Structure 1
Amino acid sequence: MGGATIPNDIEPTHPLIVVDLTNIIKLKNTNYLSWKLQLESTLIGYGLFKFLDGSHAAPPSTLTTNNVSSSNPAYTTWVRQDKLLFGSMIGTLDSSIVPLVSRATTTKEAWDILAHTFARHSRGHAKLVKANMKSITKGTQTITEYMNAIRICADQLAVLGEPYKPDDLIERVLEGLDDDKYQSVIDSVNGRDTVISFDELHEKLLIKEVSIRKTSTSTPLPVTAHATTTRSHPPNTYSTDSYNRNSFPNPPKSAAPYKKHNQTNTNTKPQGYQGKCQWCHTLGHSLYRCPIFQEKFPNAKPTLPPSSTSQRPPQAHVATTAATSQPTNWLLDTGASHHVTHDLSNLSLHHPYDGTEEIVIGSAHGGTSYQGSN
C-alpha cells in the first residue's frame, strides 16, 4: 500500500495525495468492523482521516474582497482531494455495497451511510446477528473457516454494543464442532479452571484437525487389483472351480462321502486348507482327485489347478460377467489379498497382471469363467 502526489495547479504549494487502497479488504455485509479498522488506520497514517470524521470541512466556494466575489482556490483543492479519496474508498467496497453510497457527494457522506447501515445499534439487527451466530456449525468447513465465521459475528455484535463474553464465545465454538473426533479438545477445555483464549483454542483445534486428517488418509494395507475378461470353455472341458453341474446328475444323497486313507493317524500335523470337493463335498481333495466323480464320469477331465507349495486358501473379491448388470456399490473384503474386475474404471488403484496363472471363478451361466488379463 502506498501513495503518491500529483501537482496542484490551483495551489502549487498544496500537492494532491493519491492513496492506493487496493490492499484494503473488501467491505461485505459481514466484515464492517475489520474493514473500518483497516481503512481508518491507513487514512490516519496519511493524515487524510480528517475528511471522514468532519474535522476538515469544506471551505467556502467563493471569496469576497471589496465586494467582489471570486472562486476560492482552497475549496477547489479540497474538492479534488476529497474526490480522489472518495474514488479510492469506493474501490474497497464489494459490488453489492456500492449502490448504498451511490448518492453520496463527499467521502464523509459515504462513510456515515456505511456506519449507519452496518454499525447502527438496533434490537432487530443484534437479534439477527445472534441468530446467525447460533446457526453456525463446523460441518465440512475447516477449523479456520468455522472459527472465522464465529469471530465475524462476534465483531458485529461488538460494533452494535452487545459484545459476547469470552466464556460464552468459547462455549459457542465448542457447541458448533458437531464432531466426536474433537471430543478430547472439548473435554480438555471444559476441565480448565480458567477460560481459554479464542486464539489458543484455535491453535489446539488446528493441531487436532491435522491429526484427524493424518488418521483418515492412512492406508495400512494397499488394495491391488487385476483386470479380468470372460471366456467360454471348450466342449467337455471343465475348470476346477467352475464346471456346469447341470451336465451331470447330482450325486445321491445316500452316497457316503469319500474319505482319505490313513486319517486315523492322530499324530499327523494339520496341513491347513486342503480344499473341498465340488462333487462329494469332502474336505481334503478337489474335483480332479475325486474317485466318485472319476468313476461315474471317466471321460470328464477337470482342469488341474497350478501346483503351489503354499496351502493358503485363495482369496479374491467377487467379479461379474459383462453380460450381467453391474452393481453400483462394492463391498471390499479387507481380508482379500487382491480384487478382480472386468472394468478397471471400477477401481481407483490397479495394475495389470503379467503372470501366467489364471483366476477361475464359478459361473451360473454354463462354462463361463474369469481369467486375469494384462
Structure 2
Amino acid sequence: MSATSEIVAPADATSLVNVNMSNVTKLTSTNFLMWKRQVHALCNGYDLAGYLDGSTAAPEATLTTDGVSSANPAYKHWQRQDQLLLSSLLGAISLSVQPLLSKANTCAEIWTTLTTTYAQPSRGNILQLREQLKQWKKGTKSIEEYYLGFTTRFDKLALLDSPIPHEDQLDYILNGLPEDYKQVVDQIVGRDTPPSLLVLHEKFINQELKIQTLLTASSSSLPASANFVSHKGNNNRNQSQSRSNHNSQQQRQFTPRSVSRGSHGRGYQGRCQICGVHGHSARWCS
C-alpha cells in the first residue's frame, strides 16, 4: 500500500486554507504546553502562525478613494481565513476548556486567553507545582502514569519561566520510587553522567515488565502450594479422626463388665462368695 501525502501551498492574498487539526491532541487544563507547540507548528507549516500571535494584523475594513468608502477585499480575505482557523482551533479544544473562550472572536484572542490562563507566571502556581513534585510517589500507579506526572509538571514550570534543572528532575523521579526499583536507581546514581529522561523512562518500563513477570510466576505457583497445604490439612484431620475412632473402640473394648452389666439394670452386686470376684453375686457363678 502506497503512502498518501498532502501538498500544502502557503497562504497568499487570494487563497484560503482550511487547516485540519483532527490529529491534534485536544487541549485540556493540563497539556497546554504540548498542545501549543503542536498547533503552532501546524499553523506555521501553512504559513498562518501570524493569525495566532497577532503578527498578521487585520487590514482596514474599508478603503477610501476620492472621498468614497468601499469594502476592503484584503480585510474580507483576512476575516475569512481567521474564522476558518478559529473553527479548527475550537475543534482541537476540549469541551471543559471552551467556556473560557466564549468572548473570543479571533484566533489571536483565543491564543492570548489560553496563554494568560495556562501560562501566566505566578509565584503561587510555581510553588504549588514544586510541592506537587515532592509529593508525587509511584505507589500503585503504573510507571507510565508516574513518569508522566513528573514530565507534565516539568513542562508547566518551564512554561512559567521556572524550569527544573535536569539533574534535579532525575532526583525527583528517583526519590519517588519503591524498593522494587532499587536496582535501577543504583545504576542511575552510579553513572558518571546523568542519563536523559527518555533513557530513564525506558529502564523503568523494562523493570516494570520484570516485576510483572515475577508476580505472574508467583501467582501461578500459588494454587499448587495451596492444594498441598489443603491436602496436608485433610490428612491431619483424617489421622486425627482415625485415632479418635481407634481410641473409642479401645474404650468400648476395655469397658469393665460391671459397667456393661450396670447398663442392663443389674448394678453392683457385691462380692461373689464362690469365685471372689466383685460385681456379681454367687447366683451368677452357678
Q: Same fold (TM over 0.5)?
A: yes
**Contact kept in structure 1, 2:8 and 2:46, CA below 8 Å:** no
Partner of 1:200: 199
Partner of 1:278: 243
Whose radius of gyration is greater, 1 or 2?
A: 2
Partner SS state of residue 220, structure 1 = helix
Q: CA deviation at 1:295?
A: 2.0
Distance (Å, rounded) in 2 between the aligned partners of 1:98 and 1:76 = 26
Q: CA deviation at 1:150?
A: 0.4
Partner of 2:246: 287
Distance (Å, rounded) in 2 between the aligned partners of 1:132 and 1:100 = 25
Partner SS state of residue 19, structure 1 = coil
Residue 134 (str. 1) matches residue 134 (str. 2): yes
Q: Percent identity?
A: 37
Q: CA deviation at 1:168?
A: 0.6
Letter in 1 for 2:60: P
Q: CA deviation at 1:276?
A: 8.3
**Contact kept in structure 2, 1:3 and 1:18, CA below 8 Å:** no
Partner of 2:24: 24
Partner of 1:143: 143
**Contact kept in structure 2, 1:4 and 1:17, CA below 8 Å:** no
Q: Which fold has the larger relative contact order, with Cα–Cα distance below 8 Å and residues 6 or more apart in sequence?
A: 1
Distance (Å, rounded) in 2 between the aligned partners of 1:115 and 1:221 = 55
Distance (Å, rounded) in 1 between the aligned partners of 2:165 and 2:240 = 71
**Contact kept in structure 2, 1:33 and 1:155, CA below 8 Å:** yes
Distance (Å, rounded) in 1 between the aligned partners of 2:111 and 2:6 = 21
Q: Deviations over 1:294-319 (max 9, x none)?
A: 6248xxxxxxxxxxxxxxxxxxxxxx
Q: What does 1:110-129 align with in structure 2 at a 5 Å threshold? A: 110-129=110-129
Partner of 2:161: 161
User: TM-score normalised to the size of structure 1?
Assistant: 0.58
Q: Which has the higher helix share?
A: 2
User: TM-score normalised to the size of structure 2?
Assistant: 0.75
Q: Which has the higher strand share?
A: 1
Distance (Å, rounded) in 2 between the aligned partners of 1:3 and 1:141 = 43
Q: CA deviation at 1:222?
A: 3.5
Partner of 2:51: 51
Q: Deviations over 1:271-298 (max 9, x none)?
A: xxx988524xxxxxx729x87246248x
**Gaps (5+ residues) in structure 2?**
228-236, 256-286
Distance (Å, rounded) in 1 between the aligned partners of 2:100 and 2:222 = 59
Residues 210, 62 of structure 1: CA spacing in aligned structure 2 closer, same or farther, 3 A cutoff?
Answer: same
CA RMSD of aligned residues (A): 2.7
Partner of 1:181: 180
**Gaps (5+ residues) in structure 1?**
6-10, 226-240, 243-273, 280-285, 298-374
Letter in 1 for 2:76: T
**Contact kept in structure 1, 2:51 and 2:107, CA below 8 Å:** yes
Partner of 2:37: 37
**Contact kept in structure 2, 1:119 and 1:160, CA below 8 Å:** yes
